[in-house]
Amino acid sequence: MAKKADEGFTPTGKVYKSTTLPKPTTKNHKDLGIKDEQLPEIYRNMYLQRRFEERAAQMYQKGKFGGFLHLYIGQEAVSASTVHVLNDDDDIISAYRVHGLALARGTSPNACMAELFGKVTGCSKGKGGSMHFFDVEKHFWGGHAIVGAHIPLGAGLAMANKYQGNGRIAICFFGDGAVDQGSLNETFNMAQLWKLPVIFVVENNGYSMGTAVERHSAGQLHKRGEAYGMKNGVANGMDFFSMVDTLSDIAKEVRETNEPYFLEVKTYRYRGHSMSDPGNYRTKEELEEFRSFDPIERLKTYMFENKLVSEEEIKSIEDEINKEVLDAIDFAEESEFPPASDLYEHVYVQEDFPFHT
């Protein structure tokens, strides 16, 4: 006889170690084809993401702009490795926790900060805000806020690339929460059936809002595509070199075979889900443990230990970035809001659409 649901349906209990990191790669930067002089630039990229968001949070708390603010802090090695591995014209699309990826891809801090402030100089002209950074010239396709809704779009970017035979691949990022959406399953089936050159990446940061992965998703995330025959793997998202190691093999393979790949990146967000989330669902110990794997500190330590940069060089990078971010705040504050007429701009391509009143 089937049992009565006395214990309820959803698994419960505070989950310590919501995500477990795979062992980092043993390869060094040279093994991965990274030149000595590239390392400070990679550090600069990650540090920019971090400082930008720390300052953005301060500005938000000061009431300089409204809306939601979801910080990527802790996950910067994922974005930095992606732009390092992929070609500049490969297509990137992601969810709403998106500042880091845009900055990593090269969208200027000015345009990013101005978008947060809702200014016309923002990367989406002030129309999108924090969740909707776009920079299509840089093949950066946003910034999407309905969980799971952009997963098919990622496959669509890849379909167009394959159709046009342009050699580009697409990479589509989403959170562990998005894995539970029907859109993922439909897209995975078609991407495999149609052999679309797309890398799906779930950034498993342990939580979907306040719900630990084990409480919202059955089975292992990266195996979600196995029934469709989709190749898959797991990577350590707290370590830049591990990410490069895994992602370069995958990118090569996807480009050559025109087949999709599903990568589960184990990572962690240090801040709350959004600015209003106190994060009571996780333990201090867990947070502290993951802080000890900080991807930015880790790269810095690596460079120091291998005598690849001096303290002064790092200091001057950090000073430059700090200034760049402060300048971006000035730029955002001084920029104009969009003109009132922009309310009716960008709804249609058609210029004289007869809006209804």
Partner 1 sequence: MSVKQFRDAIREAMVEEMRRDESIIIMGEEVAEYDGAYKVTQGMLEEFGLRRVIDTPISELGFSGIGAGAAMNGLRPIIEFMTFNFAVVGIDQILNNAAKIRYMSGGQVKFPMVFRGPNASAGQLGATHSVAYESLYAHIPGLKVMYPSEPYDAKGMLKTAIRDDDPVIFLESEQMYAMKQEVPDEEYLIPFGVGKIKREGDDVTIVAHGKMYHIAQQAAKELAKDGIEAEVIDPRCMKPFDFKMVIESIKKTNRCVIVDESHPFAGMAAEIGFVIQRDAFDYLDAPVQRVTIPDVPAPFAKNLFDLWLPGPKQVIDAVKAVTYKN
Residue 193 engages partner 1 in binding (rule: CB under 8 A): no
- Partner in contact with 6, chosen from partner 1, Mg ion, ligand TPP, none, beta carbon below 5 to 8 Å by kind: partner 1
Taking the C-alpha atoms of residue 229 and residue 352, their distance in angstroms, rounded to an integer, is: 48
Residue 175 engages ligand TPP in binding (rule: CB under 6 A): yes
- Partner in contact with 2, chosen from partner 1, ligand TPP, Mg ion, none, beta carbon below 5 to 8 Å by kind: none
Taking the C-alpha atoms of residue 137 and residue 322, their distance in angstroms, rounded to an integer, is: 26
Residue 175 engages Mg ion in binding (rule: CB under 5 A): yes
Two tokens, residue 162: 């394959």
List, as one string, the DSSP characters of 315-347. Answer: HHHHHHHHHHHHHHHHHHHHSPPPPGGGGGTTS
The residues in 208-267 that bind ligand TPP, with binding defined as CB under 6 A, are: 208-209
**Residue carrying structure tokens 């805000």:** 129
Q: Which residues contact 50 (CB under 8 A, 6 or more apart)?
A: 73, 76, 296
As measured in angstroms, the least distance from the Cβ of 353 to ligand TPP is 29
Residue 206 engages partner 1 in binding (rule: CB under 8 A): no
- Count the residues of the shown chain that bind ligand TPP, applying the rule CB under 6 A: 13
Residue 284, Ramachandran bin (φ over 0: left; ψ between -120 and 50: alpha; else beta) = alpha
**Which is nearest to 104 in space by CA: 123, 124, 83?**
83
Helices (H) and strands (E) in the chain, counts: 11, 8
As measured in angstroms, the least distance from the Cβ of 203 to Mg ion is 7
Site string for ligand TPP, 265-304 (x = CB under 6 A): --------x-------------------------------
Residue 75 engages Mg ion in binding (rule: CB under 5 A): no
Amino acid at 26: T
Taking the C-alpha atoms of residue 91 and residue 136, their distance in angstroms, rounded to an integer, is: 9
With CB under 8 A as the contact rule, the residue among 62, 340, 351, 352 that binds partner 1 is: 340
As measured in angstroms, the least distance from the Cβ of 231 to partner 1 is 24
From 16-24, 53-61, 234-242, 336-344, span contacting partner 1 (CB under 8 A): 336-344
Taking the C-alpha atoms of residue 224 and residue 220, their distance in angstroms, rounded to an integer, is: 7
Site string for partner 1, 289-328 (x = CB under 8 A): ----------------------------------------
In a 3-state reduction of DSSP, which class is residue 306?
Answer: coil
List, as one string, the DSSP characters of 137-183. Answer: GGTEEEE--STTTTHHHHHHHHHHHHHHT----EEEEEEGGGGGSHH
Angle of CA points 122, 237, 68, to nearest 5°: 35
Comparing CB distances to partner 1, the nearer of 33 and 66 is 66
From 19-27, 142-150, 191-199, 278-286, span contacting ligand TPP (CB under 6 A): 142-150
Taking the C-alpha atoms of residue 60 and residue 67, their distance in angstroms, rounded to an integer, is: 9
Angle of CA points 285, 291, 294, to nearest 5°: 160
Comparing CB distances to Mg ion, the nearer of 205 and 335 is 205
- Partner in contact with 343, chosen from ligand TPP, Mg ion, partner 1, none, beta carbon below 5 to 8 Å by kind: partner 1
Residue 16 engages partner 1 in binding (rule: CB under 8 A): no
Comparing CB distances to ligand TPP, the nearer of 142 and 175 is 175
With CB under 8 A as the contact rule, the residue among 29, 84, 99, 132 that binds partner 1 is: 132
**Residue carrying structure tokens 């500042």:** 99
Are 134 and 140 in contact by the 8 Å Cβ rule? The answer is: yes
- Partner in contact with 97, chosen from Mg ion, ligand TPP, partner 1, none, beta carbon below 5 to 8 Å by kind: ligand TPP
Residues that bind partner 1 (CB under 8 A): 5-10, 12, 65-68, 118-120, 124, 126-129, 131-132, 145-149, 177-178, 180-183, 208-211, 215-217, 281, 337-338, 340, 342-344, 347, 355-357
Binding site for ligand TPP (CB under 6 A): 97, 145-147, 175-178, 205, 207-209, 273
Binding site for Mg ion (CB under 5 A): 175-176, 205, 208
